[in-house]
Structure 1
Amino acid sequence: MRTKLNCIVIDDDPEVSGYVCDFVQETSFLHLVSAHSSPAEAIDVLGHSPIDLIILDINLPGIDGMSFAKTLFDQYGKDMPRIIFISGSGDHASEGYKVDAIDYLLKPFTYEDFFRAAFKAKNHIVQTIQKSDEEDFVFLKVEHELIRVPFNEILYGESQKDYIKVFTRDGKMITALSTMKAMEALLPQDRFMRIHRSFIVALNKIESIQHFTVKIGKTVIPVTDQYRQQFRSHFKTWL
């Protein structure tokens, strides 16, 4: 898991956007990806970068913050980035629950107010990830039985014809009857990525990246040309 939460700020007031960005940069567990004056500007970032938290103004020209949040909720459901609303009035505070907003800050707010809301967001996101790690799993066909393997136990998979060797963090190797294409379809795309014709890796198990190779434990795996663009796009805010 990343040590910092990727965050974007959406506010059309340059002064407010400026001090909110300063607050984000002062907070050790947040990483400021970008700041935008409208939701339309932020769409591209949301589509290409892993965003955990949005600091979102309610009163925006065009599509307002609440409508934008509802659009994200309709599209992503519980997997949407967490939201902290900011506003000059409390008129919409009661609507925040509809999109699982973390908090609602009234302008002007202090760094202490911001930190309290951000810390709440951090705890919520960490708990969600931990719960997901505990509950999510895949069944792999091994000889004549199905073996249950939690996603968070998988380091990487290596294909060999009609079999996949799945390496786990407890040092085991499971030889499962599966093609790489089938395995890729079984694993969640936000947690696993194919980086080579023969390899798929757990993103949160990568220990280091150098010259388009990744290191997981003592294993070094190359990122081949076919997968480099996707790999580069995913990691551009992490590196």
Structure 2
Amino acid sequence: MAWEEEKDAAGRLREYFEKEVDGQEKKVGDHCGDEVEEVREKEVSLCAYEEEEKDGEEDAGKVLDLGPLVSLIDQMEKDKDDESLRRWKEQLLGTADFNSVGDKLEPDVKILSLSILSLGRPDIILPIPVALNPKGSWFTLKEGSSYRLKFSFSVSNNIVSGLKYTNTVWKTSIKVDRSKEMLGTFSPQLEPYTYVTPEETTPSGIFARGSYSARTKFTDDDGKCYLEINYTFDIRKNWPSASPV
């Protein structure tokens, strides 16, 4: 996750307290000036969060116009006399399961599993399905630890275009991260798909520890949401003695 905003704010706050403890003397005018500058920096930071929130809202409102939906069988029947086009479609669809397609137009995506991978640690398996608003912390991560997200999903009925994963994180009602991962376009098949995100690192330090709230969504280019989870998680100094299963 991109935690740079919170790290910067924590660094400024830590520096302020260190100067107070060291007993550094400042003139009243200089001290007031520093406070005003710090307030300005905080205002700029908050504006950045607001702009990011607006960007997210704009992205949510922009749905690609992909034209009318056509069933997978109809797509294969079109231009079937064109050999090159037929081969291209077969290559695109790969191992598509036509037996479970029928004439349904809407693709169906089911998120089958979610897990967190961290080198040297047992995988943290997050149960699916989950309550709409799980009570308590869903999982705990160690500060400064590297991790990846892994999820498997199935696709049926039709091709899903532009499947994406978005995750938004808040701490004390302030948004500290918003990440989006484009998974791609997938055709129906019997075997589930598996996707592993690039490696990321949790923030570290006393100001990074604590509880966070988050929202995870899986959507496609049509704006259809296949899974939305609201949950909380913790970042602690050490890993928990027993990982949740």
TM bucket (normalised to shorter chain) is under 0.3
Choose 1 or 2 for highest CA Rg.
2
- TM-score, normalised with respect to structure 1: 0.25
**Higher relative contact order by CA 8 Å / sep ≥ 6: 1 or 2?**
2
- TM-score, normalised with respect to structure 2: 0.24
Please state which structure has a larger fraction of its residues in helix.
1
